[in-house]
Amino acid sequence: MAPIYSTLRRVSVETRAPSAISPFGIIRKAAGIRAIAELLRRGYDVYPTLVDDQGIDCVVRQGPRKYFDVQVKARFSDVAIWNAGFFPALKIPRPRRNYVFVLYAEAIGERGTYWVIPSTHLARRCFALTIKSGPRRGHYRIKVNNDLRPLCSANIASSSGRTQ
């Protein structure tokens, strides 16, 4: 009987030159790893996905039978401080209670700031704004601040004492 390695055929693998790798893709991956590290530090069981084709960066277990699908979105310190909490295009294929977004703003706070928001909240009216036209139609956009509240016209009006 022939050894297994002799029966396998050689498969060529395409490799990209280092200059062809997108720095944005590397930064995005780093944000996901940073969020996973923070979840691990807080004692959660975290299972990263290999491919982000369903909008899920990792699965987090909380208790014996409770799982959350997590999508990480990040804004880095190279943005203007007033845009640090602005997340312009959040795609939510199916809002559900166990699908959460971890929003990370590196420019806010000493070590950055995280917000964990369920997808059902993001899809709620006036929590996030829905993009009505263009290539990102149906996506959501949200601007959060350090008070952990979304910034939208209804919240601004109610916090200033005015009513709409």
105-132: pLDDT as tens digits: 887 777 788 888 898 888 887 677 777 7
Question: In this predicted structure, what is the pLDDT of residue 78?
Answer: 75
* Tokens found for residue 104: 């990370």
What is the C-alpha separation between 154 and 164, in angstroms, rounded? 7
Tell me how far apart the alpha carbons of residues 138 and 117 are, in angstroms, rounded to a whole number.
18
Q: What is the CATH number of domain 21-159?
A: 3.40.1350.10
Q: Using CA atoms, how far apart are residues 150 and 124, in angstroms rounded to an integer?
A: 12
Contact, 142 vs 90, CB < 8 A?
yes
Any idea which residue has 């050689």 for tokens?
10
Closest CA to 48 of 80, 67, 70: 70
Query: At 30, is the secondary structure helix, strand, or coil?
Result: helix
Q: Is the pLDDT of residue 2 over 90?
A: no
Q: How far apart are CA 62 and CA 157, in angstroms?
A: 37
pLDDT over 80 (residue 72): yes
- What are the backbone angles phi and psi of residue 55, rounded to the nearest 5°? 75, 25
Of residues 162 and 70, more confidently modeled? 70
The closest alpha carbon to 151, from 103, 106, 112, belongs to 103
Domain boundaries, the chain: 21-159
Q: For the chain, first and last CA: distance in Å?
A: 81
